[in-house]
Amino acid sequence: MNKKSFALFLAGLLGFTTLSYWASVQAQTEIKPQQSITPKFISSEQVGKLKLQVNGKPFIPSGLGRSKPDEGDIRGIPTGIDNRTPMLSRKYPWSAIGRVQGTTDDAKNYHCTGTLIDNNLVLTNAHCVIDSETGKFSTKIQFIPNVIDKNYEDVAEVEQVVYGTDFKQSSKISSNDWAIMKINQPLGRKYGHLGLKSIPSATLIRNQKGFFFVGYSGDFPSEKYQKYFSAGPGWTASYEEKCSITREESDFLLHDCATAGGSSGGAIIAVINGDPYIVALNNAETKNLRTGQDIVNLAVKISTIEGALRGN
């Protein structure tokens, strides 16, 4: 399939996926963001105005400690039910991953996933801050790190957003579907932050089952897990290990991590020399609308983000 045909194929599928995403997350968000800050939006072409500096290196706060993803307070959850397991740990690096929630221009609520990449910077998708149907900016956005069963300690308000696309010059899917949000608290000092690393696509593809993924999916906790949680879907992140980048196509990375509405903006992570780095950014899940079967999952390349920040 050539590049043009692939893009048209995905655009046709994702037109429905994007609509169902924005519609479905309205029901997933049970609280309305309460904040006074209206974010300022800056396109990546104007990124110099924000003086955005991302050092790209991971950071773990002293005393926070590291853990496996299931080292938490909720006991008795069986394994082997689903490839995804509940994210229960309050330790690094899981502490740096959180829920992005906001309000659209027409007063609808939604949620996505985001990851701290610096003291006050959070990486997510552009379509998590801009309605890909209308190109209108969200009026209010919050970042809530390390939410487990709707329990959390901190809520940060988004002050500024640098975005890779506003979808006005492209289809609803874009290989520039990324955004970096500046929050009003240096939460990375408390929760840590992950590194960013651009790795050649061929290297990622060779490293089969070498990645893990965390996202606040709207279909998780799944039915067999629900009795262990009280807050409902989208309020506990799912963890999946042994994900793969399967190939590169038309400037997208294709991957097999389990995703659903709400996990947009989730990081595909690799452990490199013992430290966690984001090596790709989940941005779309396409399904067969008749059968509901997953067809292909898309991710943004880190080189795309870094190139935009450098002004390339």
pLDDT of res. 197:
95
The pTM of the full predicted model, rounded to 2 decimals, is: 0.84
pLDDT of res. 179:
97
Residue ranges making up the domain that contains 231:
3-310
pLDDT of res. 312:
62
Element (H, E) at 239: strand 238-243
Task: Report yes or no: 157 and 37 within 8 Å, Cβ to Cβ.
Answer: yes
pLDDT of res. 274:
93
Which residues sit opposite 113 in a β-bridge? 99
Q: In the chain, how many domains are there? A: 1
Element (H, E) at 212: strand 211-215
pLDDT of res. 29:
35
Strand ranges (E), 38-187: 40-43, 85-86, 97-103, 109-118, 121-124, 140-145, 156-163, 179-183
pLDDT of res. 18:
37
Low pLDDT (below 70) residues in the chain: 1-35, 47-55, 70-82, 170-171, 287-295, 312
Q: Is 311 left (phi over 0), alpha (psi -120 to 50) or beta?
A: left
The amino acid at residue 164 is: G
pLDDT of res. 291:
58
Decide: residue 241, CB within 10 A, 0-12 exposed, 13-18 middle, 19+ buried: middle
CATH number at residue 188: 2.40.10.120
The span from the CA of 312 to the CA of 309, in Å, is 8
The span from the CA of 204 to the CA of 207, in Å, is 5
